[in-house]
A and B are shown apart, each in its own frame.
Chain A
């Protein structure tokens, strides 16, 4: 990335941040009535906390340009000496897996492709929660990318035994097929990757809470399913934040609740 592009990104992030903070401030000024305690001080403190969170979140670009995920995929590709790697996340509205990030062979053409769960290696890995190496079955991907895929290795992304997507590698370099050792290595790698990706999803969820507007969720994440436990927590936190916004006198209680949740195992 050159310096001009970096400056452009930072200036856009600051612009977005400023408008978010402005919106939040006007929202708070209009919505928060005066209460029996110092609401003004609470609001200032809230603004400061929101600024910190927004600043942090503004550093996270969309998933397909996410440096962390791209690095993760490059490692995934190298672990098993493949020509490409891809990350699919489950879209529970469509009941399909969608390539959200990719690296290596035909990476740009793969992002956004939908992978059916029926009769596909990705489906088997995701539903049966097991790593599978095989000859490719979904030739539609070959047709879309114009590439010939010789072999594919797919691992489920599992957190607490719940699958959130798949991590795949294609075309083993210098060999006809992936080996049992590759399967072992990829199994361990996918375990680490699943936790990193879960953390990324949590950050996107946090962005959603702070922005308080589901319409602002990045397009590429609409439909992505979080872990059930995370989704439940997200719903609870959203409700608590909503109560706090509506009734500022409840803010101290809301804080206590969120604090208690943060300390939960």
Chain B
């Protein structure tokens, strides 16, 4: 008997269909989120700024102003898919748009402290030192054992990048799909999931919209989908979520 014969794909899709994200706390670790945008204003919950302070990084409640428009796009996609999810904005890019693995780690720590259920990481850190890879892994594992589901974008060049390359994270690449409910899953590859990410219409700062294609915009489709699953099945663990995603994939035996 195969895995696909064992699971009921239709039942999982039904759960996804029923979910709204209600009661699910979703973090967006990114360039900030423009919560004044009319498309996402009602989903805003809290905002944090990760800044350097005395040689270390700290996350404090702050405006979390979007410096690029990137985080706003991601938040918009998540809100559209899981309209009742509570959005937490964790801004790691500073005014000069600088990011670093240290800030990402601090952002993950903040997400754990806030008890978030899902964390969207539409970013990739390349060429990290072995020590930094281990440091980040420690906090990614900590999040995993706290039951937080981490969803990360992959590098366009398919280079090894983090946090997407950690096995406890759901790594997402973009592909042509009609909606968020259709996606591919590839077992045994660092990039496990291909989700909708081609010319996606998303909110952009200044109360405008952008239509965009990139891995970053595919990632929040899976984040939103996981938020829907979590609202249908509260207490879903990261392992269970990944298993359900695998079972519901479009490229399965029955798909």
Q: Which residues of A contact B (CB under 8 A)?
A: 95, 117-121, 123-124, 126-135, 137, 160-161, 177-180, 183, 187-188, 191
Contact = CB atoms under 8 A, between A and B. Distances in A.
B149 interface: no
Contacts of A160: 127
B156 A161 contact: no
B210 A134 contact: yes
Contacts of B68: 117-119, 123-124, 127-128
Given A124-B69, A178-B213, 4 more contacts: A117-B68, A124-B214, A131-B214, A180-B175
Contacts of B123: 128
Nearest to A95: B96
B70 to A, nearest CB: 5
Contacts of A124: 68-70, 214, 216
Instruction: Kindly name the residue among B99, B199, B208 whose own CB sees the greatest number of chain A CB atoms within 10 A.
Output: B199
B199 A177 contact: yes
Interface residues of B, number: 35
B67 interface: yes
Contacts of A128: 31, 68, 70, 122-123, 216
Nearest to A177: B199
B127 A137 contact: no
Contacts of A130: 124, 153, 155-156, 214-216
B175 A137 contact: no
A80 B66 CA distance: 31
Given A118-B68, A187-B156, A127 B93 contact: yes
Contact of A161 (B70, B126, B199): B126
Given A134-B212, A183-B213, A119 B124 contact: no
Contacts of A126: 97
Contacts of A127: 31, 68, 70, 93, 97, 99
Contacts of A177: 199, 213
A264 B127 CA distance: 20
B199 to A, nearest CB: 6
A123 B205 contact: no
B127 A161 contact: yes
